[in-house]
Amino acid sequence: MNKVVFGLFAHPDDAEFMCAGTLALLAQRGWQIHIATMTAGDCGSKELNSKQISDIRKAEAAESAKILGGSYHCLECEDIFVMYDKPTLLKAIKLMRQIQPAVVFTASPVDYMVDHTTASKIAMTACFSSGIPNIETKGAESFEPVPFLYYVDAVRGRDIFGNEIKPQMIVDISGVIQTKEKMLKCHESQRTWLLKHHGVDEYVEFMKRFSRLRGEAISSSFGEGFRQHLGEAYPEENILKAELGELVHII
């Protein structure tokens, strides 16, 4: 098996909030880490223009991935305008083919922001389509099998109506919470903005509060929740359980 894991999300810092602990655990076990975002976070500042903040946020994301010995990629879409269309899908499929992951993490199919849900749908289609030869992506050949696909928690674990979305499994990340925090702190442009406006390190504390909530459900200090895509043509074995053993708690 190709021990490569690929996180495809909407914005820089999404992976760090929702699955960096599990990525760290996989990295410890020899997995190669790739993190990609649909956008560079070009709307993530009130002071800097789109190019300025995009350049900063891409550099921050690359620094975060480097902590795990991993790589960062950006598909160069725009915040709010992540589209489920042919040009965007082809970019995602091409990158998927270049990386050839065995495991893919992406955003929840239901979340508070349309960029997240669109990125989730794009990741699902890219996984399914990467083995279809008649979808041509110059410089990147089709590959099989379809990767294992896991959805991270929605932000705050809720849908758009405030209803709880329960994970199928929770990974105990207590042993790597410091790595998760270190990765999140790489996104200094976002952390500083909240520090200035709130007077507290809400950026990091939000992550820790939710990770504690998931940890409490498995009688541990910190956790991350996931749901596995089990639709037709997708693998049904729980590769996370196979790789991480007792750290994965089926709910």
- Quick one: CA torsion of 130, 70, 82, 16, rounded to 10 degrees? 130
Instruction: Give residue 158's pLDDT band: very low, low, confident or very high (50, 70, 90).
Output: very high
CATH label of the domain that carries residue 143: 3.40.50.10320
Mean pLDDT over all residues of the chain?
A: 95
Domain that holds residue 201: 4-250
Q: What is the pLDDT of residue 199?
A: 58
What is the average per-residue pLDDT within 147-163?
Answer: 96
Q: What is the pLDDT of residue 197?
A: 55
Query: Structure tokens of 129?
Result: 């389509």
- pLDDT exceeding 90 applies to what percent of the chain? 91
β-strand pairing of 223-228 with 169-172: antiparallel
Q: How many CB atoms lie under 10 A from the CB of residue 165?
A: 17
If one counts the domains in the chain, the total is: 1
